[in-house]
Structure formats: C-alpha cells, structure tokens
Structure 1
C-alpha cells in the first residue's frame, strides 16, 4: 500500500508512519509498535514517487481494516483519512464435526473470493500433497480408518504457496488391541496382593472398563485396574476385561491367575523345636 503527500516548504516533517482503524480523539498507533503486526511490517520510502509504502507480510483475515498514513510535522499533525480499505479473502477447509471409522466423509475447500467453475484444487495431509487430490473443491475419503487422522489443508492449484490453515480430522473408533497385564508379573503366593490392568487403543479413549472371571455370569470389578488384596485359591482362574467407549466395546484375551501355594518358612527356636510360620 502506498501513500503520497505534499507539504509546504515551511513545514518540516519529523515522522511518517502507517496506522490502522484510527479512532477520533486518540493518538494513532504506529504499526511498527502494534503487537498484532510485530515482525510483519516494513516501510519503504520512495522519494522519487514522493510515496511512503507499507509492506505487510503474512496477511490474514484479521488484518482487514482501514490503513491510514500519519504525518507528524514540527507544528502540526496530519492523517490521511479516509485511507486504504483492505479486504482479505480467505481459503479454509471444512470437515464434518464427527467422523467414525468406516464412514466416507467429504472435505470442502471454501473461499470468500469468486472463483471460476473450472478452478482446480490441491489437497494436503500433514503438509504432503495427496495423490488422490481432487480437481474440485471437495475431497472424498473412502471408508476412513484411524490411519486417516491428520491435518488437512487445501490450495487453489495455481496458488499452491498459499494453502488454507490446516484443519484436524479425527477419526473415532471403538476399542481395539485390548490386553491385560498382571502385577506382580512373577510368581504369585497366597496372601499376596495382585493387580490386573486393562489397556486399549480407541478414540476417544475408553472410560468404561469391566472385569470378568470365566464361568461367572456377572462382572467381578470395574475400572481400568482390578485389585485382589489377599490372594487365595478361591481367586484362581482366568480373567479378562472389556473396554468401552461411545463407538463400541471389545474384550481382551483371558489371562490365567493362579498361586503357587502357601508361603511357609521354618523357624528353629531356642528349644530346638522347628515351627512352621
């Protein structure tokens, strides 16, 4: 953006700068000092054209507004109002609010500017061009899985250096790879405390866990961990967990939990008699 001005010889200009959306009665803020424009503003004086040029980089929709030239002289101040009205068109990707594994969602590339019906688009996932990029403003993803999760963006084919901001596609799916671990992992002796932990892969993470013992009709516990404080022979058996989220549930393989018997120690007392503890 360029602003031009002339001034009488008896006026001495001490400062020239650009400001945005000036408010009557308030001193305009130099864009160089504006926190929203830090590192994005350059002033390029052109003495031959008697112009003062503003170069604004990394322009976004938030930069829309009226840009005015402020001239400060020794005896007075001037504002080039109205200034230059900046309108910024934007390109953005849109995805469905919720996507579940197995669905075939359509992603849209939308813009506020007017494009011809023959405009081609390029689609990207995590910054890499998709081989199945669409010639239209729509991208169909067939039978999505967790592998399709990622950040998607689009660009007009002849302006690929100006992609849209990335939107995150998150694919929901029920628990899978459900498994049980036992602690302690070594030998279990009657009287020990035993903890079984359930893990799974799901989106969103499973919040409901149920514990079952084979040959019993009802659950024996709930929560991601199931503890037996004093293990005995009646607790021996095969256990499994079931993990659940809003998309479904899955049970783990059964694990065998058994003890090696009573932990006995021999103690020789002062009378020479051996006791069993």
Structure 2
C-alpha cells in the first residue's frame, strides 16, 4: 500500500473557556479523538490584563505539581520534544501541533503562560482531552452463504471527524471503487471470489486496521455440512 500523507485533525466544536478578571484560555474543543500515527492540531487563544508582558508559554499534561515547582513543559520532555510544536505566539494565540500521536498520548492537555510578575501566571483549565484510537473491521457474519449480503464496518473506539473518508482493502489490494465517507462496506450477492482478508483505513492516514477474514460458503458445501435425515 502506498504511503499516504498524515491526516491532520482540526476540531472546532464547542468552545471551552476558563477566565477570571480578564485572564483566560479559550480551547476550540474540550475533547479530540484522533487515529494513532496522525497529526493533531489543538486550536487555542488566551488573554490577560493590559500592562503585563508574556514571558513564557508552553503546554503541559500535568495539573498537580509539587510546591515551588513549575508545571512540566512538554517541549522539554523526551517523549514529546521531537513531536510537539508551538504554533502560537506570546500575544494571544496558543495553538499547538502534535505529530505521530501514540496511545500513550491519550491524556488531558493544558496551556500555561507566565508574565513578568512572578505571581501572575495562568493554567488553562479544564484543558483538552486527547483520545488516541485505532481501527477495527467488524463483520455482520464470519461465514456467509453465496448469494447473501454482508456488511463490514470500519470502527474506532471514539468518534472521528465527519470529514473522514474511509478506504477498503482486500488481501492488501485497494478497492478503489469502495472509497466512501460511509464507514461500511456492503457486499451484495457474494460469491466465493469475495472470500479474503478485508481491512480499512482513513484516507490521508497511514494506519490500516488488522484484517478480518470473510469466508463465503457455497450452498452445496453448506448442505453437505448440515445433512438432513
């Protein structure tokens, strides 16, 4: 299968806002579901009182910290440093990009900024929950009789963006005519030729599901397996 460009998830659903006395962080979404290996962009803006100068901006996935210690900066963490990029600025934009997401990235993330005044700092709660998922193929039947129909569904643990386009493979070969925004592959009036290993992927993403074997049984063989007396 040819390598496909990484799929970038840009979610702008409900706004999540934490603010007090002119200070706050505004996240574009409270939760994001993304496929393993994809790139996630978390859109974010922040505000603070006039007269302050922003000194430090970063993202963290830690809410509880020890006394007199700063929250950990993910860009300094070896598990994130090569994959996280701050796309914002030191004014009002706090957008962040995380590439090649992994199952271990399933976490809650917060934006943090500090000013020239030691006591004037802000952690953007409640943060953004990132859930990383993979793909699975589910069949409406393990054994299908010739002439019957079968439905294969490309499933993930959480809901992906509505813009996802699903593609299907049989024995690792792309079924180009089966590319659709619907996550189901419906095979009508199947024959023995439809037997094989089926897998699915999302267009623009290099993650492919484990295969699901479809076994199409001819009517004659089925009668021999279930003789009547």
Looking at secondary structure, tell me which structure has more strand per residue: 1
Larger Rg belongs to: 1
Q: Which has the higher contact order (CA 8 A, sep 6+)?
A: 2
Give me the TM-score of the superposition, normalised by structure 1: 0.42
